[in-house]
């Protein structure tokens, strides 16, 4: 499980647990990715506006079937392009998202810096064969999450999934500030999840009977950060098991409405599939990003959250919401993909035969 998180009034984590850093898939500290952007061809940040000449020509979103988000009210400037990504530099993880005076860039300039960085990675890859950039690692996160999904659904005798969608209200302090605050609340939420499922005196499952994957996503159009947590359980569960988990998120996150709006389990914040009736919807292979051979099938829930990972699409094909969210997560020090399953526990037969 997510094991750098001590229990919320629960016993210490069990001995099979390892550190969170071993299980989260960070783009910048786990798979030999270079963090020194000076090595990239064309990676200076002096020409922030040049890369955004085609902003108006980009689609608002690529999602044709998205529904209205419950916490996104009407506003005249849904992008806040000329507002800073955060109120101060303390939450900015990379210098390229700071201005010369040390202040955080505006969203517009942050997107320009991100586009330039991605172009630099592509140029370096084509000239020097270096292919360890953000898109490369995002695709590996996607493949890892899909393999975990296939393995758990195949190995559990009575697989049940619960999708928790944890949302916040947009605020004027910038998307990076929203994401940072969201991440802190998610840590507490996962700690509560583990306590309720396996550590509480009346916990219904053992540690080897459940796992999870999670993605920090951006909403369609506005790119407001939120978190999707897909929980896999070998057995039947009820919605009531997750009520205190969602309550922990609401009470821990200052940007989540106190009255529960947008996070009420009976209004879509918790969706359970399975419970012995084979109701877990599976995705057609033709809809997946990889057509390589592998064992098992993927749930629609996994496809839904993993296709929202940042950096997946070629940067010149990204919609505005993808650019805003990808730039935000790139400026953040956290991990856009989280999982309780270490890479070493994934059976090779569930991985694609070749890279995407």
Q: Longest C-alpha distance within the chain, in Å?
A: 59
The pLDDT value recorded for residue 64 is: 56
Phi, psi (rounded to 5 degrees) for 106: -70, 165
Q: Which residues pair with 212 in a beta bridge?
A: 231
Contacts of 4 (CB under 8 A, 6+ apart): 19, 20, 21
The pLDDT value recorded for residue 96 is: 97
Q: Over the stretch 63-116, which tens digit does the pLDDT of each residue have?
A: 755 555 555 554 445 678 899 999 999 999 999 999 999 999 999 999 999 999
Start-to-end CA distance of the chain, whole Å, equals 27
Q: Which residues does the chain have with pLDDT short of 50?
A: 1-22, 24-51, 74-76, 291
The pLDDT value recorded for residue 75 is: 45
Q: What is the mean pLDDT of the chain?
A: 82
Q: Over the stretch 235-266, which tens digit does the pLDDT of each residue have?
A: 999 999 999 999 999 999 999 999 999 899 88
Q: Where are the domains of the chain?
A: 20-28+137-350
The pLDDT value recorded for residue 354 is: 61
The pLDDT value recorded for residue 38 is: 34
The pLDDT value recorded for residue 55 is: 80
The pLDDT value recorded for residue 250 is: 97
- ∠136-142-143 over CA atoms, to 5°? 90
How many Å apart are CA 203 and CA 196, to the nearest integer? 6
**Which of 196, 185, 306 minimizes the C-alpha distance to 243?**
196
Q: Which helix (H) or strand (E) holds 214?
A: strand 210-218
pTM recorded for the entire structure: 0.84
């Amino acid at each position: 499980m997510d094991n750098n998180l001590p229990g919320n009034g629960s016993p210490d984590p069990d001995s099979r647990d390892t550190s969170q850093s071993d299980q989260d898939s960070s783009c910048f500290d786990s798979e030999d990715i270079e963090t020194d952007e000076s090595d990239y061809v064309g990676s200076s940040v002096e020409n922030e506006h040049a890369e955004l000449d085609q902003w108006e020509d980009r689609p608002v979103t690529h999602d044709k079937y998205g529904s209205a988000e419950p916490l996104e009210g009407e506003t005249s400037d849904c992008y806040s392009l000329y507002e800073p990504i955060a109120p101060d530099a303390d939450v900015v993880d990379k210098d390229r998202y700071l201005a010369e005076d040390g202040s955080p860039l505006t969203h517009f300039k942050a997107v320009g810096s991100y586009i330039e960085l991605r172009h630099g990675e592509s140029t370096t890859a084509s000239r020097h064969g270096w292919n360890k950039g953000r898109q490369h690692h995002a695709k590996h996160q996607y493949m890892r999450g899909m393999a975990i999904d296939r393995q758990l659904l195949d190995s559990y005798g009575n697989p049940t999934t619960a999708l928790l969608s944890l949302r916040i209200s947009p605020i004027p302090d910038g998307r990076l500030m929203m994401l940072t605050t969201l991440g802190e609340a998610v840590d507490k939420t996962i700690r509560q999840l583990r306590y309720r499922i396996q550590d509480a005196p009346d916990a219904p499952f053992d540690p080897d009977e459940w796992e999870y994957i999670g993605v920090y996503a951006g909403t369609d159009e506005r790119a407001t950060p939120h978190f999707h947590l897909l929980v896999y359980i070998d057995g039947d569960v009820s919605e009531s098991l997750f009520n205190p988990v969602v309550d922990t998120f609401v009470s821990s996150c200052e940007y989540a409405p106190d009255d529960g709006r947008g996070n009420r389990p009976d209004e879509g914040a918790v969706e359970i599939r399975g419970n012995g009736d084979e109701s877990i919807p599976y995705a057609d292979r033709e809809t997946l990003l990889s057509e390589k051979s592998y064992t098992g099938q993927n749930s629609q829930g996994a496809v839904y959250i993993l296709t929202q990972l940042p950096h997946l699409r070629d940067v010149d094909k990204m919609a505005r919401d993808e650019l805003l969210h990808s730039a935000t997560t790139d400026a953040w020090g956290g991990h856009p993909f989280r999982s309780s399953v270490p890479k070493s526990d994934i059976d090779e037969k569930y991985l694609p035969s070749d890279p995407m």
